[in-house]
Amino acid sequence: MENHKLNRRKFLRNSSLSVLGAGLLGEKSFANSLQDKDDEIPKIREYRTLGRTGFKVSDIGCGPARMTNENLLKAVIDSGVNIIDTAEFYGNGNNEILVGKAIKGHDRKKLFINTKLRIAETDKQEDIVLRTRKCLERLNTEYLDGMMLWNPSSTEAVKNKAFHRAFEQLKREGRVKFCGISSHGSEHTEMNRENMEQIICGAVEDGRFDHVLFVYNYVQREMGENILKSCAKKNVGTMLMKTDPLGKGYSELLTGVRKAQRENQPISDYTKKRYELIIDKQKKAEQFLNNNPRFSKGTRTEAAVCFCLDNPAVSSVLISFRAYEDINDYVVLSGKKLTSENLSIINALKENCGFLYCRHACGKCEPSCPFEVPVNTIMRYNHYFIAQSREKYAIQQYNLLAGANAGSCSSCPGYCEQACPYGVLTRPLLVMAHQNLSLDSPHYT
φ/ψ of 62, rounded to 5, equals -125, 120
Domain assignment of residue 164, given as a range: 44-247+297-339
Residues 200 and 216 in one domain: yes
Residues 114 and 212 in one domain: yes
pLDDT for position 421:
86
Residues 130 and 30 in one domain: no
Asked whether residue 201 is assigned to any structural domain, the reply reads: yes
Cα 416 from Cα 270, distance rounded (Å):
16
Judged against a pLDDT cut of 70, whether residue 198 lies above it is answered with: yes
CATH number at residue 147: 3.20.20.100
Residues 220 and 366 in one domain: no
Residues 200 and 102 in one domain: yes
Asked whether residue 350 is assigned to any structural domain, the reply reads: no
Contact 169, 133 (CB under 8 A): no
Residues 132 and 277 in one domain: no
pLDDT for position 275:
59
Query: How many beta carbons lie within 10 A of that of residue 242, not counting itself?
Result: 22
Residues 7 and 79 in one domain: no
H or E stretch at 342: helix 340-353
The winner for highest mean pLDDT among 10-14, 217-221, 440-444 is 217-221
Residues 257 and 383 in one domain: yes
Contact 187, 402 (CB under 8 A): no
Judged against a pLDDT cut of 80, whether residue 360 lies above it is answered with: no
Asked whether residue 345 is assigned to any structural domain, the reply reads: no
φ/ψ of 185, rounded to 5, equals 95, 175
- Residues 63-85 have pLDDT tens digits of 976 678 899 999 999 999 999 99
Report which of residues 272 and 419 the model is more confident about: 419
pTM, rounded to two decimals: 0.79
251-277 average pLDDT score: 54
Report which of residues 376 and 141 the model is more confident about: 141
CA distances 261 to 253, 285, 385, Å, are: 13, 20, 18
What one-letter code names the amino acid at 169? Q
Asked whether residue 346 is assigned to any structural domain, the reply reads: no
Q: Where are the beta strands (DSSP E) in 28-141?
A: 47-49, 56-58, 60-62, 83-85, 112-117
Residues 412 and 305 in one domain: no
- Residues 43-70 have pLDDT tens digits of 999 999 999 999 999 999 999 766 788 9
The winner for highest mean pLDDT among 21-30, 167-176, 376-385, 436-445 is 167-176
Cα 389 from Cα 259, distance rounded (Å):
16
Judged against a pLDDT cut of 50, whether residue 22 lies above it is answered with: no
Asked whether residue 273 is assigned to any structural domain, the reply reads: yes
Q: How many domains does the chain have?
A: 3
Cα 378 from Cα 253, distance rounded (Å):
13
Residues 210 and 280 in one domain: no
Percent over 90 (pLDDT), the chain? 47
Rg, C-alpha atoms of the chain: 22
Where are the alpha helices (H) located in 15-124, listed in sequence order? 70-78, 94-103
Residues 51 and 35 in one domain: no
Q: What's the CA angle centered on 33, arms 27 and 37, to 5 degrees?
A: 120
Residues 84 and 208 in one domain: yes
Asked whether residue 375 is assigned to any structural domain, the reply reads: yes
Last residue of a domain, one of 339, 366, 393: 339
